[in-house]
Amino acid sequence: MRNALTIAGAELRLFLRDRSNLFFVFVFPLMLVLMIGLQFGEGASSGRVAVSGAGSALQTGLVERLEDGDVVVSDPSWDDALALLARGRLDVAVRVDGAAATAYDAGEAVTLEVVRGSSGNAQVVEQQVGVGVDALRSARSRILALEANGVPSDRAEAALAAAEGEVSAPRLEVTSVDRLSQEFEGMGQFEFGASGQLLLFTFLACLGGAATLIQARRLGVVSRMLAGPVTAEELVAGQVLGRWAIALFQGGYLMVATSVLFGVEWGSLPLALLVLLLFSLVAAGAAILLGTLLENEGAAAGAGIGFGLVLAALGGSMFPLELFPDTMRTISRFTPHAWAYEALADVQRRGAGLVEVLPELGVLAAMAALLVALGSWSLRRSLARAM
Amino acid sequence: MTHDVLVVDSLVRRFGDLTAVDEVSFRIAPGETYGLLGPNGAGKTTTISMVAGLIAADAGTVTVAGEPMTPRAIEPKRHLGLVPQELAIYPDLTGRENLTLFGRLQGLRGSELKVRVDEVLALIGLADRAKDRSKEYSGGMKRRLNIGIGLLNRPTLLILDEPTVGVDPQSRNAILESVEALSGEGMAVLYTTHYMEEAERLCDRIGIIDSGRLQAEGTRDDLIRLTGGVDTIRLGGSGDLAAAAEELRLIPGVERVDAERRSATLTVKDAPALVAQVVGTAADCGVTLADVEITRPDLESVFLHLTGKGLRD
């Protein structure tokens, strides 16, 4: 076992020693998680609004209300706001002029100039602005009514705030009956990107190890090891362990980094790690098989990337499995990515326990056993052939 | 009684219809350097692959330090150091990391491993470059590292498979000096080469191998004797060498003289021992010598004699 660990340690060291890996292992996956999160995550629908004006109670109140609703608010000049809108940097531009401010202060109907952009989200954001202004006007009317009845302005505001605190707002529970909505329930902004890229890059990093195995065979390093007191079983175990360690390193790094940088929730950590362990073992078996079936490092690197990308695409790492048509969903079941994706989705979004994800884990374990056995057999065969 | 470090007995290996190694037998004693001399494709590497336990023999046995060697054997491999013909090192690991990795696989641990790695780095002259990746080394340095890995476990038997192929003359000389030194320290060495000069310089005994068969083995002189063991002395100069030939034929040890007016070729038993007497006799006969050339049979001649072809054919 010591010899196997020594060989595995050397493989991991070689992986980390490769400078090109620094970008593709540590930086690139996180960039993709960020981009996917910004484009498709729930945070993308918050909206971007410019509120222009000379400064008034209406403007201040509107900004606060929109920001409470997670809308990104800026206060450029009106011309700048229109330019930003034209370039697609804003969803809605609002101008609070002197007349509107005066009308608001007087408790009268407020007319605002609102320009909506062309983004898909603009209509919703415009509605948020309208609801916000209505709510502000309503509050202002109540204060004015109290003042008209002799209540000082500061006491009127305090009384309204106290009254709001005492009254429970009606609770509205929305239950979605749409299957698709239910499947995405509980998913944060970066969760899809994180789990998808975790599977994609874990598999890719491991398949990249196929080239180092070919190099070791070509250089005679593998034969040299066998000329020492090292059994063929130890050598095969070391090669599998080495690639397993590479996959676990990549996957573990992405779990930690996305959790720290993007606040991704991985659900039950032991279960998420179990999924990663089994998925990585599948990748290790595939890497050994690829590294023994091919004789050229360049071909192995190219095949590894191509194979890894196709499996990831079919397995839901690039586009959510939930949105696949039925035929593609059936095909995806032949990839380890799909089973790992579903297991992670259960653990992350639905709080699933071990029993609930046992079917996915079982399939991953079976795939791992098959590929590791095939890879080991193929490696032993290639060693015999090389001698 | 001294046990041989390596005993190879009737070794056979076939690849399909081709018999790559055919009934090869030889032994190596402690401290002895044994050369397997033969052209490319003669069966040298296949033979040492079986000796190193990398491939199984179809017939015959290999015993290393008294232990039978097979691909699954572990104990005899502890006595073995293999320096393959190719540079079997990780290019992306440093010299020290390569040595440490293979040292661990040889069973060395902790301070023992560190001390031994330092010793080997000093021995192969790479202590100053130990932290550099081996892909940054020159060809000669890579060769030295390749050899150093084979020395980590202080092997009883060191196998060197054509270690000077593709090496510049300076590095080649350094490698040959290292092998001479190791042999002087009592290590048995099995050295394969197709360079006659290396075999002559390094090896106590030489096995000549061709087409998978060991054609002959023995010391250099033993092998030379197979050709008849005669030297030639060629004389050139002014004066009548044809007339001097009669006197030259009378010198004990001279077997034959072929003379013309200005040159003569003498076939003799031991040219270095007779050359002074030959030169003196020629001078006494009034010949002024301008050229004296001694030719002794070498391993090339032996190979030619045994196989009918040259070493580099």
Which of A7, A212, A221, A233 would best serve as a mutation to test chain B binding (most B beta carbons within 10 A)? A221
A329 within some domain: yes
Tell me the one-letter amino acid at B217. Answer: E
Report how far residue B215's alpha carbon sits from residue B236's, in angstroms, rounded to the nearest whole number: 37
Q: What is the CATH number of domain B231-296?
A: 3.30.70.100
DSSP A27: I
pLDDT of residue A203: 92
The predicted model scores a pTM of 0.72
**Residue with the two structure tokens 């080469």:** B193
For residue B164, what are its two tokens?
């000077």
**Edge-first strand listing for the sheet containing B59-64:** B18-28, B6-15, B59-64, B67-68
Cβ-based contacts of B97 with chain A (< 8 Å): 13
- Whether residues A86 and A218 fall in one domain: no
- Whether residues A348 and A224 fall in one domain: yes
Inform me whether the pLDDT recorded for B1 exceeds 50.
no
Q: B293 forms bridges with which residues in the sheet?
A: B234
Report how far residue A59's alpha carbon sits from residue B201's, in angstroms, rounded to the nearest whole number: 98
- Whether residues A112 and A28 fall in one domain: no
A172 within some domain: no
- Whether residues A275 and A333 fall in one domain: yes
- Interchain pair B53, A226: CB under 8 A: yes
- Whether residues A31 and A12 fall in one domain: yes
- Interchain pair B101, A228: CB under 8 A: no
- Whether residues A103 and A208 fall in one domain: no
Distance from CA of B190 to the nearest CA of A (A): 15
Ramachandran quadrant class, A96 (left: phi over 0; alpha: psi -120 to 50; beta: rest): beta
Share of chain A above pLDDT 70, in %: 91
Report how far residue B128's alpha carbon sits from residue B126's, in angstroms, rounded to the nearest whole number: 5
Cβ-based contacts of A227 with chain B (< 8 Å): 52-54, 77, 80, 82, 84
A177 within some domain: no
Domain CATH number, residue A149? 3.40.1710
- Whether residues A296 and A310 fall in one domain: yes
- Whether residues A217 and A298 fall in one domain: yes
Rounded to an integer, the average pLDDT of A267-290 is 93
Cβ-based contacts of B89 with chain A (< 8 Å): 219, 221
Report how far residue B8's alpha carbon sits from residue B27's, in angstroms, rounded to the nearest whole number: 6
> Helices B95-105 and A2-17 meet at what angle, rounded to 10?
160
- Closest chain A CA to residue B46: A387
For residue B84, what are its two tokens?
């393959």
pLDDT digits 0-9 by tens, A136-170: 888 888 888 888 888 887 888 888 878 877 777 66
Inform me whether the pLDDT recorded for B37 exceeds 60.
yes
Cβ-based contacts of A229 with chain B (< 8 Å): 74-75, 77-78, 105-107
- Closest chain A CA to residue B152: A228
Ramachandran quadrant class, B154 (left: phi over 0; alpha: psi -120 to 50; beta: rest): left
Q: What ranges do the domains of chain B cover?
A: 6-225, 231-296
Q: Is B56 within 8 Å of chain A by CB? A: no
Q: Is B54 within 8 Å of chain A by CB? A: yes
- Closest chain B CA to residue A213: B90
Q: Are strands B254-259 and A48-53 parallel, antiparallel or unpaired?
A: unpaired
Cβ-based contacts of A17 with chain B (< 8 Å): 92-93
Inform me whether the pLDDT recorded for A45 exceeds 60.
no
Are B38 and B206 contacting, i.e. CB atoms less than 8 angstroms apart?
Answer: no
DSSP B12: E
- Interchain pair B72, A231: CB under 8 A: yes
Domain that holds residue A79: 45-162
- Whether residues A345 and A284 fall in one domain: yes
Q: How many domains is chain A partitioned into structurally?
A: 2
A175 within some domain: no
Rounded to an integer, the average pLDDT of A324-343 is 92
Interface of A with B in 172-211 (CB under 8 A): none
Share of chain B above pLDDT 70, in %: 97
Cβ-based contacts of A213 with chain B (< 8 Å): none
- Interchain pair A18, B92: CB under 8 A: yes
Q: Is A219 within 8 Å of chain B by CB? A: yes
Q: Are strands B33-37 and B59-64 parallel, antiparallel or unpaired?
A: unpaired
Q: What is the 3-state secondary structure (H, E, C) of A182-224?
A: HHHCCCCCCHHHHHHHHHHHHHHHHHHHHHHHHHHHHHCHHHH
Inform me whether the pLDDT recorded for A92 exceeds 60.
yes
pLDDT of residue A184: 63
Residue B258 neighbours by CB under 8 Å, 6+ apart: B264, B265
CATH superfamily of B6-225: P-loop containing nucleotide triphosphate hydrolases (3.40.50.300)
Tell me the one-letter amino acid at B128. Answer: D
Report chain A's mean pLDDT, rounded to a whole number. Answer: 85
Q: Is B92 within 8 Å of chain A by CB? A: yes
- Whether residues A237 and A363 fall in one domain: yes
pLDDT digits 0-9 by tens, B84-122: 988 999 999 999 999 999 999 999 999 999 999 999 999
Report how far residue B256's alpha carbon sits from residue B268's, in angstroms, rounded to the nearest whole number: 7
A150 within some domain: yes
A7 within some domain: yes
Three-state secondary structure call for residue B218: strand
Which of A14, A16, A224 would best serve as a mutation to test chain B binding (most B beta carbons within 10 A)? A224
Residue B227 neighbours by CB under 8 Å, 6+ apart: B297, B301, B302, B305
Rounded to an integer, the average pLDDT of A348-355 is 85
- Interchain pair A14, B105: CB under 8 A: no
pLDDT of residue B148: 92
DSSP B162: S
pLDDT of residue A181: 58
- Whether residues A375 and A252 fall in one domain: yes
A370 within some domain: yes
pLDDT of residue B311: 63
Are B148 and B102 contacting, i.e. CB atoms less than 8 angstroms apart?
Answer: no
- Whether residues A222 and A77 fall in one domain: no
Give the containing element (helix H, strand E) for B44: helix B44-51
Report how far residue A367's alpha carbon sits from residue A279's, in angstroms, rounded to the nearest whole number: 9
For residue A120, what are its two tokens?
């898909």
Q: How far is CA B190 from the centre of its chain?
A: 8
pLDDT digits 0-9 by tens, B141-189: 898 999 999 999 999 999 999 888 877 888 788 888 888 887 777 789 9
